[in-house]
């Protein structure tokens, strides 16, 4: 490896390699050797920047969570535009991309990783996704686009749980039919969207 390579570049190279392994071979195949081989670096490179492989995986997930925070800000800013259902469908499609679905499986699969990432609000990625939808739905409720008494906690849990089942229940690398996702969102949101007009 060339000397003088910036830490960010190495981290990104390793994270990108890990994502490729996840997408191609699944969570069970993700090992330090698989990552370094995919990144075309010596195995010791990973351990030079991370305490151990679970530390690397935790940072990989935290990197994804940082992207999710950006998505949450954009979704909240979208409140009041287009339809509520369209915003939710787009957000869920972006959220549950194949890498996020694979990372969620990895968190379930690896006890040590789950322990390192656990927070007070639930399972990493899914908890942040729930909070993202809760914030968005709260903004839509404030604007009167969903019923004033809508329970955004329950709606967010329902949307995240159902979407996760739709996306994670597919063969690796495939997405659910768009109509399935639309039907699910419309079903979960039907009552609070209809009652806003009453």
Which tokens hold the place of 49? 């920047």
- As a whole number of angstroms, the distance between CA 73 and CA 127 comes to 16
**145: helix, strand or coil:** coil
Note whether 32 and 77 are same-domain residues: no
CATH of the domain at 151: 1.10.357
pLDDT (tens digit, 9 = 90+) per residue, 122-171?
A: 788 999 999 999 999 999 999 999 999 999 999 999 999 999 999 987 77
Radius of gyration of the chain from its Cα atoms, rounded to whole angstroms: 19
Is 57 inside any structural domain? Answer: no
Residue that wins the pLDDT comparison between 79 and 169: 79
Q: Is 99 found in the same domain as 131?
A: yes
> Could you tell me where the DSSP H helices lie in the chain?
7-25, 32-39, 43-49, 53-77, 84-95, 98-109, 111-117, 126-142, 152-168, 178-195
Domain hosting residue 163, numbered range? 65-195
> What was the pLDDT predicted at 198?
57
Residue 76 and residue 115 in one domain: yes
Which residue shows structure tokens 């409720």? Answer: 141
CATH number at residue 37: 1.10.10.60
Let me know if residue 185 belongs to a domain. Answer: yes
Tell me: do 45 and 70 sit in the same domain. Answer: no
What is the average pLDDT value for the chain, to the nearest integer?
89
Number of domains in the chain: 2
Contact 23, 16 (CB under 8 A): no
Same domain, 8 and 32: yes
**pLDDT tier, 26 (very low <50, low <70, confident <90, very high otherwise):** confident
Residue that the structure tokens 């287009």 belong to: 82
Q: Is residue 55 part of a domain?
A: no
- What global pTM score does this model have? 0.86
pLDDT tens by residue, 186-196: 999 999 998 87
Q: What span, in angstroms and rounded, lies between the C-alpha atoms of 65 and 129?
A: 9
Which residue bears the tokens 């910036």?
A: 6
The CA-based dihedral angle spanning residues 47, 49, 54, 59, taken in that order and rounded to the nearest 10 degrees? -160
* DSSP letter string, 176-190: --HHHHHHHHHHHHH
What the block records as the tokens of 190 is: 């039907």
Residue 58 resides in a domain: no
């Amino acid at each position: 490896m060339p000397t003088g390579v910036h830490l960010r570049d190495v981290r990104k190279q390793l994270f990108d390699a890990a994502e490729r392994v996840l997408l191609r071979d699944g969570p069970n195949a993700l090992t330090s050797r698989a990552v370094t081989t995919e990144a075309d670096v010596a195995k010791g490179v990973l351990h030079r920047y991370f305490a151990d492989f679970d530390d690397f995986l935790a940072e990989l997930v935290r990197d994804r969570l940082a992207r999710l925070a950006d998505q949450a800000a954009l979704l909240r800013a979208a409140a009041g535009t287009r339809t509520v259902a369209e915003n939710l469908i787009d957000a869920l499609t972006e959220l549950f991309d194949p890498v996020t679905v694979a990372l969620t499986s990895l968190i379930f699969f690896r006890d040590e990783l789950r322990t390192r990432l656990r927070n007070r609000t639930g399972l990493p990625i899914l908890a942040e996704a729930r909070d993202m939808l809760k914030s968005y739905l709260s903004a839509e409720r404030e604007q009167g686009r969903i019923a004033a008494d809508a329970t955004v906690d329950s709606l967010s849990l329902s949307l995240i749980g159902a979407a996760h089942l739709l996306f994670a229940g597919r063969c690796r690398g495939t997405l659910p039919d768009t109509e399935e996702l639309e039907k699910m969102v419309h079903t979960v949101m039907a009552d609070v969207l209809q009652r806003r007009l009453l």
